Amino acid sequence: MKKTLVVAISVCILAFAGMAQAVPFTVNGITFDNLVGNAENFTWSVTPVGGSIAFNLNVGQSATFTYGTFYTSDFGLDTGDRNDNDDRFRANFDVQPPTPPSDLSRIGAPDAGVYWVWDYVSVDFNNDAIIVPFGIGGSYSVTFLDPDTLWADGSTNLQARITLISDAQAVPEPTTMLLMGLGLLGLAGVRRFRK
């Protein structure tokens, strides 16, 4: 009887373990708007990544992805470039889940300055995570990351990180329910056979 009970419990555990699957994410609709100051003293541009970005995450896992590029050709910087500190742009993209997708955006602030004697350009975002709920009980965080500092003409990647906090409560698949049912039927049949 003990052996039968162990087998039945094992089948149930395997059946429920089969329900925990990686969550597929898709990032698309990447755009930049509200560009302010990019054609004034300090000149810069932003370009979105084309197409969709797809990846899978399990609970507790993160994925960092590139959604665009920041570019400048204004080096060496003059005093006007360094004093032009009101530049900004808004980065936007859609993330699935949920369906319809969540529209996420953050303001990036390009800033030209001097560190000791070296000119540099940084782009700062509000790095507070945006928490996105999906399904029943599912949630993930999205963080817009500050890109690498530029010390000369060129470009740097604009990136964000998605971390899966919790999965939505899964609805058991028919195969999972069938396995569970067969395990319970087997347990009942063996018990009946032994009596």
Number of compact structural domains in the chain: 2
**Whether the Cβ atoms of residue 89 and residue 32 lie closer than 8 Å to each other:** yes
Q: For residues 89 and 185, state if they share a domain.
A: no
Q: Return d(Cα 37, Cα 125) in angstroms, integer.
A: 16
Cis peptide before 172 (omega within 30 of 0): no
Domain that holds residue 54: 22-169
Do 77 and 105 reside in the same domain of the chain? Answer: yes
Q: What is the pLDDT of residue 192?
A: 57
Same-domain check for residues 10 and 36:
no
**Which is more confident, 100 or 177?**
100
Q: Are residues 56 and 129 in the same domain?
A: yes
Based on the fold, state whether residues 36 and 123 are members of the same structural domain: yes
The reported pTM is 0.76
| Residue found by looking up tokens 């560190």 in the block | 115
Mean pLDDT of the chain: 84
CB 91 within 8 A of CB 105: yes
Verify that 182 and 99 share a domain, yes or no.
no
In this prediction, residues 55-62 reach a mean pLDDT of: 96
